[in-house]
Structure 1
Amino acid sequence: MTAFSLEPAQLTWCGELRALAAERLRPLADKGEPGHVNRALVAELGALGLLSRLFTSGALDLCLMRESLAHACTEAETALALQGLGAHPVHAHGTAAQRARWLPGVVAGTTVAAFALSEPDAGSDAAALTLTATPSAGAVATPPGPVALDADPDGGSGWRLTGEKCWISNAPEADFYTVFARTTPGAGARGVTAFLVPADRPGLSGSPLDMLSPHPIGALAFDAVPVTAADVLGAPDRGFRVAMDTLNLFRPSVGAFAVGMAQAALDAAVAHTTSRDAFGGKLRDLQTVAHQVAEMSLRTEAARLMVYAAATAYDEGAPDVPRRAAMAKLLATETAQYVVDRAVQLHGARALRRGHLLEHLYREVRAPRVYEGASEVQRGIIAKELYRTHDTTTEEAGT
């Protein structure tokens, strides 16, 4: 299989996912309360076996799931993605005990996960984190169950987390958080550690933020929250790798989410311009309209192919994954913004009525250009990788 075509079985599966999203997930999404975790929807994703695929399949499979779900139910897509984002560090870097304790609930849809990286003054710059993990002799946690403030069973002294996180999806309603904190001051990216922090840990509190989002987004406050070696994901001072490994996987799939929305908007535009009478004919008969629809289709397909290529590169362990992942997210999210905006323009005022598909997509499509690294950050990553490759090639050539 190449990065530019899908097998018949994959195409069939994508069609089945779109049908499931429309028939079984859309009704549950409609019953959800905006700004809160829709636990019934998450549980249904688990019952359908989709959450388990987050940890048993590759990046391309993840992209196909997100694109297909987004076409019919963006809320289901987002619920699935947030489970993966919050729990992937546990799956990929956690201990056997951590995985056994938390992943079964994530897969079943009964345990809600969250990825806590951003801070009030450190959004896309993960190396600038200020949430502090201060060494604290005797601070220990023994999940599951209450925190026990006695000796660390692994012989370590533990830490106390102090500071804030902000713009955290699923906060403050998640059951556990993957938290990134500074364990070595002044060390930049090399001084960050990833911790698995249960929501009921003493000193941890959260508050919702009033955001343009159907799922909760909140702030977390850490008041000397105790953590120990048993809570570390990966290794101390190696949390930046955990964060980047997770983002390199999920950035192309953010692009897949965007492609799904773009395709839904394009489909709506084709249907509307075919049926809408205007100026003695159909809208589609106007060359200016037909050319706009053609441009929307062109950009959507180009974004889709770049997303698939980036996902395939990840699955094959290619060395240029950071650049490809950044390109895929950048192109797809910017494309989706364009396509949805054009679709709204072609529909006219009706697209702005509350409850219209395009009104919904118009609100949903803006955020992906910001989260998991804004478009400007993606351009920075692409440029950095290009110059790094140039410098390495020049050194090897001895010029």
Structure 2
Amino acid sequence: MDSSAPQKTHYDKTYLDWPFLTPDHKKMALELDLWCAENLQDISHDRADADAACQMLVRRLGDAGWLRYAVPKAYGGKMDTLDVRSLCLLRETLARYDGLADFAFAMQGLGSGTLSLFGSENQKQTYLTAVGRGDKIAAFALSEPHAGSDVAAMSTSFREEGDMLVLNGCKTWISNGGIADYYTVFAREEGTSGSKGISAIIVDATAPGLEIVEKIEVTAPHPLGKLQFTDCRVPKSALIGERGRGFKYAMATLDVFRTTVGAASMGFAKRAMDEAMRRATSREMFGAPMTNLQIIQSKLGDMALNIDASALLIYRAAWVKDCVAERVTREAAMAKLYATEAAQKIIDDAIQIFGGQGVVFGETVEKLYREVRSLRIYEGASEVQKIIIAGQALIPYHLKD
């Protein structure tokens, strides 16, 4: 039996009492769980409706106040600064109920994150307040056809002409491409190379010279597009922060949101484990419940272990970012890597427990399989996370005594 939202569930909530989280975090998570059960049961997952469904979800999340966690308090937000623990709890819970709802929330945060961290007062007032209400849809335009994980290899460029910046180039795999009201675009100044020439620029969707040249269909229906900039002109006031610091701004933004990718994958994993538990306890094999089979017990035990291990890494990284250190490159990479890889295995095992029914299009575990796959790629592929972790571990060995 499949449904668009979980039935009565038995999710472990004891982690809400871990020292990483506060009573306010617990209260928020429990309230969100109730809200999701009542408001995420009618979401269309038809490819033709993905754009409209995402727009509707942004509006619904904004009206309910959940998008206030995606912007700082001074601009209509809930918390003084972006609180990574809250972002993780939100993404984990939303993903457990509906992947597109998680996507809609996550992109409001990521698409406006660079502005929250480095934008001018005028930029923040203009964009962040609207993002927190759900009045503007945000997007983060970093990747290019030949510069995904290697951000410093980007070729999209800009030059200064009077009071304007003129952009040329292409961005692809851009979430919310085609429905966003504005894009946080990373481009290098003409004549520069490497990471030091990159800047961050706000480009409104209506800017002359910006065109959505392709809508990209991926395994799970999400708004995704390819952007072309042809002498795209924006005012110099659209520059975010200092010129030439865009690479650092992008990495700092990912430091905040990379951990939340792990949280979303854990939400998918928890839903898959719940579905697998239901299947295993209600179906008989060889004259006895599936749960009598040691091989099934082994799979379920691995699921529980890996979900708890993921949670520890995720909320450790979120706590460090919120309470201890400005940068959490190592902790965020570990959380994303472990949680996304574990979620892929958990969902695959859940499908195995379902057997043939597990690969029927539209079955919950089948949808989860399509949802989770991209999380091992975006915001830094698993292989890149390993390089980051190794580099961080090697730092003490490169220091001279």
Give the CA deviation at 1:80.
Answer: 0.1
User: In structure 2, what is the Cα distance between the partners aligned to 1:193 and 1:66?
Assistant: 29
Give TM-score scaled by structure 1 length: 0.90
Q: 1:61 aligns with which of 53, 69, 86?
A: 86
RMSD: 1.9
List aligned pairs for 1:235-246, cutoff 5 A. 235-246=242-253
Give the CA deviation at 1:17.
Answer: 1.6
User: In structure 2, what is the Cα distance between the partners aligned to 1:230 and 1:159?
Assistant: 9
Give the CA deviation at 1:310.
Answer: 0.6
Q: Deviations over 1:87-110 (max 9, x none)?
A: 111122111111111122211112
Q: Deviations over 1:4-55 (max 9, x none)?
A: 6544553343233223223212314558844415212110100111101112
Give TM-score scaled by structure 2 length: 0.89
User: In structure 2, what is the Cα distance between the partners aligned to 1:239 and 1:2?
Assistant: 38
Q: Deviations over 1:110-141 (max 9, x none)?
A: 2111000000000111111110112223xxxx
- Verify: 1:189 aligned to 2:195, yes or no: yes
**What's the secondary structure of 1:36's corresponding residue?**
helix
**What's the secondary structure of 2:51's corresponding residue?**
coil
Q: Which residue of 2 aligns with 1:146?
A: none
Q: 1:368 aligns with which of 355, 375, 388?
A: 375
Q: 1:107 aligns with which of 132, 142, 145?
A: 132
Aligned residues between the structures = 375
Runs of 4+ in 1 over 6 A off after TM superposition: none
Give the CA deviation at 1:234.
Answer: 1.2
Q: Which residue of 2 aligns with 1:17?
A: 32
Q: Which residue of 2 aligns with 1:160?
A: 166
Q: Which runs of 5+ in 1 are unaligned?
A: 138-151, 153-157
- Verify: 1:116 aligned to 2:141, yes or no: yes
**What's the secondary structure of 1:372's corresponding residue?**
coil
Give the CA deviation at 1:390.
Answer: 2.4
Distance 1:268 1:103, change over 3 A: same
Does the Cα contact within 8 Å between 1:3 and 1:308 map onto a contact in 2? Answer: no
Q: Which runs of 5+ in 2 are unaligned?
A: 1-15, 72-78
List aligned pairs for 1:342-381, cutoff 5 A. 342-381=349-388
Does the Cα contact within 8 Å between 1:25 and 1:44 map onto a contact in 2? Answer: no
Q: Deviations over 1:302-324 (max 9, x none)?
A: 01110000111111242661011
Distance 1:353 1:35, change over 3 A: same
User: In structure 1, what is the Cα distance between the partners aligned to 2:304 and 2:397?
Assistant: 34
Amino acid at match of 1:304: A
Q: Which residue of 2 aligns with 1:76?
A: 101
- Verify: 1:233 aligned to 2:226, yes or no: no
Q: 1:302 aligns with which of 289, 296, 309?
A: 309
Q: Which residue of 1 aligns with 2:184?
A: 178
Distance 1:191 1:184, change over 3 A: farther
Q: Percent identity?
A: 39
